[in-house]
Amino acid sequence: MSQIVENWAAALDGQYIDMDGYGNPIYQCHDIWLSYLVSVAGGTQHMGYAPSDFTDSVFTAFPTNGVDAVMTKHYGTDGIRSGDVVFWSYGSAHYPWSHVAVALAPPVDGYVPSLTQNPGPAHREYLTLQGALGYLRPKNLPDDPITPEPIDKDKPVAYIYGVNSSGTQSVAGGTKRWVETGPGASAIASGAGQYMIETTYDLTGVAGTRVALTSYRITIAANGSETETMLEEIDVTLQPNGRARRQLIIANNLNSNERLRVRITVPSGSSTVKVARYSFRGYKWAL
């Protein structure tokens, strides 16, 4: 990753960014683009304004506002690298109101590591490239030199990542449910290895509702029965706006017949809580 891009991302990571006072909430994905345009690409804030009410019009109407003075336009997702600004189409499945984020590295299996905002503050996340229109590239960023990567036996043997933002998962009061990581799936990781995984949850419901997020190691016996071992639990209270974003770090060693899962518990008598978005990322090392 370009050190210029990393320095910018590190300064914003975890912060609520508002550049224009527009939107409800005012902390929009477009603010990430405006910050990057001014702080890294050398443009002006005016260059980054969307001709329509939706952020994808920056890409579709390029080069409006003279943004071509500092950016070049690239259709599709081939060639995305650190520092490119990716735009998603209005009406796309994952971002129906369109979206923009800054790539922090080349994509992996159709997901691009990005600095993004909304939902939640500015944060790093692997975003699906489904629905992406293309990207803008700053003219002032140097090409990253390509050097052979040395063999390091201590490096991870696999990168673990995933996201479920295709809809909400509702958990009624008095119930415990596994947090779904995808259609019909609930395991974050499985198989022999040493794992370090960071999970992120966006929860919505009635303000003041308290829930628990608990990680488990599941051991599967030869007859198919499962034994649960609790690893860590955090309590979450929904904020006055009825939302909360929390992270849970899971570090554990698994055998070939084990997997990692996370359960959400909503106390009896409480209102329904929804897992609006859920993502995880981390590493696996060989035992």
DSSP 1-48: --HHHHHHHHHHTT----SS--SSSS--HHHHHHHHHHHTS---GGGG
Q: What is the pLDDT of residues 18-52, one digit of tens each?
A: 987 776 677 899 999 999 999 999 999 999 998 88
Lowest-confidence segment of 12-16, 72-76, 242-246 by average pLDDT: 242-246
Residues 255 and 163 in one domain: yes
The pLDDT confidence band at residue 147, using thresholds 50, 70 and 90, is very low
Q: Is residue 145's pLDDT more than 70?
A: no
Specify the number of domains making up the chain: 2
The confidence score (pLDDT) of residue 143 equals: 62
**C-alpha span between 140 and 232 (Å, rounded):** 45
In a domain? residue 152: no
The confidence score (pLDDT) of residue 202 equals: 86
In a domain? residue 235: yes
Share above pLDDT 70 across residues of the chain, in percent, rounded to a whole number: 90
Residues 78 and 167 in one domain: no
Q: Which of 78, 109, 138 is the last residue of a domain?
A: 138
In a domain? residue 151: no
**C-alpha span between 126 and 111 (Å, rounded):** 6
Query: Taking the model in full, what pTM does it have?
Result: 0.53
In a domain? residue 150: no
The confidence score (pLDDT) of residue 148 equals: 42
Residues 125 and 189 in one domain: no
Compute how many other C-beta atoms are within 10 angstroms of the C-beta atom of residue 69.
Answer: 13
C-beta of residue 202 within 8 angstroms of C-beta of residue 275: yes
Residues 23 and 133 in one domain: yes
Q: Is residue 244's pLDDT more than 50?
A: yes
Average pLDDT, integer, range 135-158: 65
The pLDDT confidence band at residue 167, using thresholds 50, 70 and 90, is low
Residues 182 and 109 in one domain: no
The confidence score (pLDDT) of residue 180 equals: 80
The CATH number that applies at residue 110 is 3.90.1720.10
* Closest listed residue to residue 286, CA positions, set 190, 192, 160, 187: 192
Residues 220 and 278 in one domain: yes
Q: Is residue 127's pLDDT more than 90?
A: yes
Residues 168 and 262 in one domain: yes
Q: Is residue 149's pLDDT more than 70?
A: no
In a domain? residue 148: no
Q: Is residue 151's pLDDT more than 50?
A: no
The CATH number that applies at residue 173 is 2.60.120.40
With residue 278 as reference, give the H or E element that holds it: strand 273-285
The pLDDT confidence band at residue 166, using thresholds 50, 70 and 90, is low
Share above pLDDT 90 across residues of the chain, in percent, rounded to a whole number: 52
Residues 80 and 164 in one domain: no
Q: Which of 86, 104, 138 is the last residue of a domain?
A: 138
Q: Which of 107, 138, 169 is the last residue of a domain?
A: 138
C-beta of residue 266 within 8 angstroms of C-beta of residue 152: no
CB-count burial class (<10 Å; 0-12, 13-18, 19+) for 148: exposed
Instruction: Tell me what the pLDDT averaged over the chain comes to.
Output: 86
Residues 127 and 188 in one domain: no
Q: What is the DSSP string of 8-20?
A: HHHHHTT----SS
For 27, the domain range is: 3-138
Residues 129 and 209 in one domain: no
Residues 54 and 84 in one domain: yes
Q: What is the pLDDT of residues 88-111, one digit of tens each?
A: 998 888 898 999 999 999 998 899
In a domain? residue 143: no
Q: Is residue 121's pLDDT more than 80?
A: yes
In a domain? residue 222: yes
In a domain? residue 144: no
Residues 236 and 173 in one domain: yes
